[in-house]
């Protein structure tokens, strides 16, 4: 009996060469498909995504890119086309002026939320200050990282997938979302947190990528008090985090991490 197909994975025949010996076998690869986002019948953005948890992506994208709360969305419908997937959003009210001016007409790379914006003003934004949040032990960051490494089935199969996770102040991972794009993974995480009513003021987000400006901005828009990244942040991300009260942590690996802004939230080990 053939194995059940897992959404987000595809199989291709490869030649595996090791020690001079060639082996022909089937390999699992990460699916990457074009996603066209339409809102109230109008095209808004095109990006490359993993074709799973698209409802979560819709809610997260609506908040971080359009400024819409969960109850502003009336319906979400995905349809598979020859060219990819079309995601149709319907909102309770017309999009606000900021969102209308934020329209994109160029395809973006894997989840890049900036690609396709028409002006610099559409890109650089300053989120409101995040909440105070409770204290978080430094050890909780590393506990969450260890657990997250065990909860990435798509990446375990392919080695080509990013993840974003939400953990409690004790480091217990509560939610994980994966995608080929780091921005998409974080939007999916934010989306499922909105749908489930997760308190973004208590706990922290963990991402398996670098912390770019837009990743920090998305976390701040969602009201997350702390964002921890496995890789480095950019200078612009650190500046934004400093201004909006976000604790930004980078190089979370092994027993090490670097705090770039608002270290007062973290209790020493």
Residues classed as catalytic: 112
Rounded Cα distance between 96 and 76, Å, is: 19
Strands 85-91 and 33-39: parallel
Beta carbons within 8 Å of 4's beta carbon, 6+ residues apart: none
Q: At what angle do helices 54-66 and 182-196 cross, to 10 degrees?
A: 100
Strands 204-207 and 226-229: parallel
What SS3 class is residue 43? strand
Sign of CA dihedral 108, 114, 119, 120: negative
Rounded Cα distance between 14 and 248, Å, is: 40
């Amino acid at each position: 009996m053939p194995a059940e197909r897992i959404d987000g994975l595809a199989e291709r025949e490869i030649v595996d060469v090791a020690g001079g010996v060639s082996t022909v076998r089937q390999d699992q690869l990460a699916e990457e498909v074009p996603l066209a986002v339409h809102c109230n019948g109008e095209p808004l953005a095109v990006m490359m995504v993993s074709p799973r948890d698209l409802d979560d992506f819709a809610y997260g994208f609506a908040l971080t890119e359009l400024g819409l709360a969960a109850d502003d969305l009336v319906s979400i419908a995905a349809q598979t086309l020859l060219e990819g997937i079309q995601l149709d959003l319907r909102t309770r009210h017309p999009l606000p002026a900021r969102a209308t001016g934020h329209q994109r007409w160029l395809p973006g790379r894997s989840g890049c939320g900036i690609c396709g914006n028409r002006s610099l003003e559409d890109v650089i934004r300053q989120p409101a200050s995040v909440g105070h949040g409770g204290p978080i032990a430094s050890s909780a960051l590393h506990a969450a990282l260890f657990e997250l490494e065990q909860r990435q089935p798509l990446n375990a199969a392919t080695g080509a997938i990013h993840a974003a996770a939400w953990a409690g102040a004790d480091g217990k991972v509560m939610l994980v979302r994966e995608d080929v794009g780091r921005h998409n993974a974080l939007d999916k995480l934010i989306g499922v947190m909105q749908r489930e009513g997760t308190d973004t003021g208590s706990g922290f987000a963990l991402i398996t990528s670098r912390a770019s400006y837009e990743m920090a901005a998305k976390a701040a828009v969602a009201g997350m008090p702390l964002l921890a990244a496995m890789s480095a942040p950019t200078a612009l991300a650190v500046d934004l985090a400093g201004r909006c009260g976000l604790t930004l942590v980078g190089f979370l690996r092994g027993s090490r991490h670097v705090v770039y802004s608002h270290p007062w939230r973290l209790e020493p080990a």
